[in-house]
Structure 1
Amino acid sequence: MGAIIVLLGVIGFAVLVIVLMYNSLVGKKNQTENAFAGIDAMLKKRYDLIPNLVATVQQYMEHEKSTLTQVTEMRARALSGGLSNDEKVALDNQISSAIGGIMVAVENYPELKANENFDQLQRTMTEIEEQISAARRAYNAAITSYNNSIEMFPTNILAGMMSYQRKEVFVIPEAQRENVDVHNLFNR
């Protein structure tokens, strides 16, 4: 009789541990999805600003017309839906690079820099970029926690049974890692 009680206690403890590990894994997976939704919301705000940015700079920047068209097309593709998270990340990196190029090109148009609408738009864009950066940091933290959980013993066994796969963190594109040559900025 005592052996049965001990056996039931061990089985009960094992079930409790498995349930706790399962709940932890599901919670971490949900945190990663929630964190990506935060990035998505900030990207939507940025996408909503793109038509205003293009309309404001278009009248001044005839030479950069192809870049403006490219940004508008990428925005339309981003809003069309049906993109995987990886595709959204790649598209976001392309849009960030193109918008960065527009902001650098603005330096050649003093009358545009003096435009009040553009100034407000640039401040709003900078604020949204900071929010996107914060959302990416939160996402990367959630992904790191998730990846640690599915790769560490003993939860890796349960994660394998649940077919949980490692997720990739947001990585800054190589072009954005390059140092800015400030000497060129001041010699215009």
Structure 2
Amino acid sequence: MLPTIIIIIAIIGVIILWIISTQRKLVMLDENISNAMSQIGVQLSSRFDALTALLDLTKGYAKHESETLIKTIQSRRSVITAKSTPDDVQRQEGIISEALGRIAMVTEQYPELKANETYIKTMDAVQTFENMVRTSRLIYNDSVTKLNREIRMFPVSMIATMLGFRQREYLVEQADKANMPSMK
């Protein structure tokens, strides 16, 4: 009787340790996703700052257009945090793409703005931040893949369901970004 109780206790102990280990792994994967989303937020914030600097440069050429665009951006801009969704990121990137498109129209009307050294440097900074956002998106999607894969596998799927872990959405590339005119 005693060996049976020891075996049962050992089996229960192994199961409890496995559940704890699984929960810790799922938490780590979930935190990686939150961290990646936060990084996207930091990069988008930097991109918005560079965009605002770019708009300040256009004030000398198209004051009304620039001021209207700055007000629009300020009213529609929101901070991307660890709890943000891919849709939130898409909306913010849409605002940036729209602003860049309008800035491109202004620069086409004012070739001297396009040739301005500060404009060129600021545009390079906007592009640099875009590349950083792209990298952060790849890291986010990779983290989502790892969590989603883990959640879908049996027997982890049972533990994930019990503990409230769910599959996360991927960030998808916006189609209109590929069609953006060159800013240089």
Match of 2:73 in 1: 74
Superimposed CA distance per residue, residues 59-108 of structure 1 (whole angstroms, 9 cap, x where no aligned partner): 2246x927x634542344324789x6235313222123214414543344
Runs of 4 or more above 4 Å deviation: 79-82
Match of 1:93 in 2: 93
Aligned residues between the structures: 179
* CA distance, structure 1, for counterparts of residue 68 and residue 173 of structure 2: 24
Q: How does 1:79-158 map to 2 (within 5 A)?
A: 79=78, 85-86=84-85, 88-102=88-102, 104-105=104-105, 106-158=107-159
Tell which deviates more after alignment, 88-97 or 110-119. 88-97
Superimposed CA distance per residue, residues 138-179 of structure 1 (whole angstroms, 9 cap, x where no aligned partner): 11111111111222211111111122222111111232345x
1:171–1:59 Cα change, 3 Å: same
TM-score scaled by length of structure 1: 0.81
Q: How does 1:44-59 map to 2 (within 5 A)?
A: 44-59=45-60
| Contact kept in structure 2, 1:39 and 1:132, CA below 8 Å | yes
Task: Provide structure 1 residue ranges, at least 5 long, that are not aligned to the other structure.
Answer: 183-188
| Contact kept in structure 2, 1:147 and 1:167, CA below 8 Å | yes
Identity of aligned residues (%): 26
* CA distance, structure 1, for counterparts of residue 75 and residue 136 of structure 2: 22
* CA distance, structure 1, for counterparts of residue 140 and residue 181 of structure 2: 30
| Contact kept in structure 2, 1:71 and 1:98, CA below 8 Å | no
Offset, 1:117: 1.2
* CA distance, structure 1, for counterparts of residue 174 and residue 70 of structure 2: 17
Offset, 1:130: 0.8
* CA distance, structure 1, for counterparts of residue 93 and residue 71 of structure 2: 14
Task: Provide structure 2 residue ranges, at least 5 long, that are not aligned to the other structure.
Answer: none
Over aligned residue pairs, what C-alpha RMSD do you find?
2.8
